[in-house]
Amino acid sequence: MTVTDDQHHDPMSEAEWLLRNPPQVPPLHIGGIRVDPPVLQAPMAGYTNFAFREMVRSYGGAGLQATEMISAKGFVWLDEHECEHPDRLWGVKDESRPLAVQIWDNDPETLAKVGARLATEYQVSVVDINFGCPVKQVTEKAHSGSYLLRFPERVGRIIERVVAACAPTPVTAKIRLGCTRDQINAIDVAQVVEGAGAAALTVHGRTAEDFFKGHADWDRISAIRPHLKRIPLIGNGDLDSPVKVLAAFHRYAIDGVMIARASLGRPWLFRQVQAALRGEPIPREPTVGEQREAMLRHYDLVCQRFGDQKGTHLMRKYACNYASGRPGARQFRGHVAHVGSREEFLRAVALYFPKVDDLSESAEDSPCETCE
């Protein structure tokens, strides 16, 4: 698509036009929490732990960060058995705000109990409830996550109860468009969510049945907006570049966006998006050397918490994300998948993220046909 610049009458790509004319996007408010820029870091189970959040925070640009989803039943069980709170709450008490903690279950009382603890003891900024998870363990086994989209009145009861238990801490909901393509009911659910007192709604533009197939349907996300009177609508799905975020704000009726997968090996993406929204030059992709340093910083954070052995094991998958899109990524993945110690991990990193003079990296990064 080309767009004409009124002043210069030069045809230019839509991307260029958007970069020169970024949409004016005000901060959004979730209850009393100001989210600026209105670009949120998504919850991702197994990934968005303290180490990842700290990486994102170090670059900046995410208006609100979120933990992984936490089982409310699991939390209660640990509490009743006087065990330590879930690993997934690592860092939550001490890290800077704003921070959202996401919980899941299908029982209003259990969710309210945990929500209240998070609001008072942990002083989190936002309690988010998961109504979007499509994974069988959560849906079929626990009748939670996206399973609940079939039962909007249950969603409403859950939210009402959690809102009452957490007040004044705002409670939000994250949903998908529906359970299946034949059962898209996001507008109904959105109205229930708002009516029950939630402070924001995030919508991933796929159904549970879609899992991650196809494209997120942003028209359907946008169609929800006129049905909400009070709360912000946050769109989510497939945003993987600053230009795509600009285009989402330009084309669709949304108040904010949430980014998940694309940020996994690129915690600096939010900073790039923020610059694009401000009409500033977009910070370049980090050099190989900088990516290596970032990955090692991430690794140290993980090892500080879990020790070298478990830390190395966990870091295997995070390291693959950093390599994604780089020359040699496939080989790196094959290699790093088998590392078992700090030494082996560092050796793999040194091999695939070599210490080269950053000035020569443009040559090193030149496209390699055989790599991803």
Ligand X SMILES: Cc1cc2nc3c(=O)[nH]c(=O)nc-3n(C[C@H](O)[C@H](O)[C@H](O)COP(=O)(O)O)c2cc1C
Max Cα separation, the chain? 70
CB of 46 vs ligand X, minimal distance in Å: 6
Distances (CA, A) of 318 to 175, 283, 298, 313: 26, 22, 9, 10
Bridge-partner residues for 171, per DSSP?
Answer: 127
> With contacts defined by CB under 6 A, how many residues of the chain interact with ligand X?
22
Residues 177-216 that bind ligand X (CB under 6 A): 204
Among 31, 63, 237, 311, interactor with ligand X by CB under 6 A = 237
Residue 286 contacts residue 294 (beta carbons within 8 Å): yes
Stretch that binds ligand X, among 76-84, 231-239, 247-255, 321-329 (CB under 6 A): 231-239
Among 228, 243, 260, 303, interactor with ligand X by CB under 6 A = 260
Closest to ligand X by CB, 68 vs 105, is: 68
Among 146, 207, 222, 236, interactor with ligand X by CB under 6 A = 236
Name the burial class of residue 45, with classes exposed (0-12), middle (13-18) and buried (19+) by CB atoms within 10 angstroms of its CB.
middle
CB of 136 vs ligand X, minimal distance in Å: 14
CB of 212 vs ligand X, minimal distance in Å: 7
Residues 10-49 that bind ligand X (CB under 6 A): 42-47
Stretch that binds ligand X, among 5-13, 130-138, 185-193, 344-352 (CB under 6 A): 130-138
Query: Considering 133, 166, 179, 303, which one is annotated as catalytic?
Result: 133
Computed on alpha carbons and rounded to an integer, the radius of gyration of the chain in Å comes to 21
Q: Decide if residue 238 touches ligand X (CB under 6 A).
A: yes
Query: Which residues lie below 8 Å from residue 123, measured CB to CB, with a gap of 6+?
Result: 93
- Residue 44 corresponds to which tokens in the numbers above? 């991702």
Q: Decide if residue 217 touches ligand X (CB under 6 A).
A: no
Among 100, 239, 247, 248, interactor with ligand X by CB under 6 A = 239
Among 125, 130, 207, 287, interactor with ligand X by CB under 6 A = 130
Stretch that binds ligand X, among 149-157, 219-227, 235-243, 284-292 (CB under 6 A): 235-243
Cα 277 from chain centroid (whole Å): 18
Q: Decide if residue 265 touches ligand X (CB under 6 A).
A: no
Query: Which residues lie below 8 Å from residue 258, measured CB to CB, with a gap of 6+?
Result: 39, 40, 41, 42, 202, 234, 235, 236, 239
- Residue 133 corresponds to which tokens in the numbers above? 């998870």
CB of 69 vs ligand X, minimal distance in Å: 3
DSSP 8-state secondary structure symbol assigned to residue 46:
T
CB of 367 vs ligand X, minimal distance in Å: 25
Q: Decide if residue 259 touches ligand X (CB under 6 A).
A: yes
Alpha carbon distance, N-terminus to C-terminus of the chain: 27
3-state class (DSSP) for residue 361:
helix
**54 to 73: interface string for ligand X, x by CB under 6 A:** --------------xx----
Residue 133 a catalytic site member? yes
Q: Decide if residue 102 touches ligand X (CB under 6 A).
A: yes
Query: Which residues lie below 8 Å from residue 75, measured CB to CB, with a gap of 6+?
Result: 85, 86, 103, 114, 117
Closest to ligand X by CB, 221 vs 339, is: 221
Q: What does residue 4 show for φ and ψ, rounded to 5 degrees?
A: -95, 130
CB of 84 vs ligand X, minimal distance in Å: 20
CB atoms within 10 A of CB 369: 5
Pairing of strands 33-35, 39-41: unpaired
Q: Decide if residue 243 touches ligand X (CB under 6 A).
A: no
Which positions are annotated as active-site residues? Answer: 133
Binding site for ligand X (CB under 6 A): 42-47, 68-69, 102, 130, 132-133, 174, 204, 236-239, 259-262
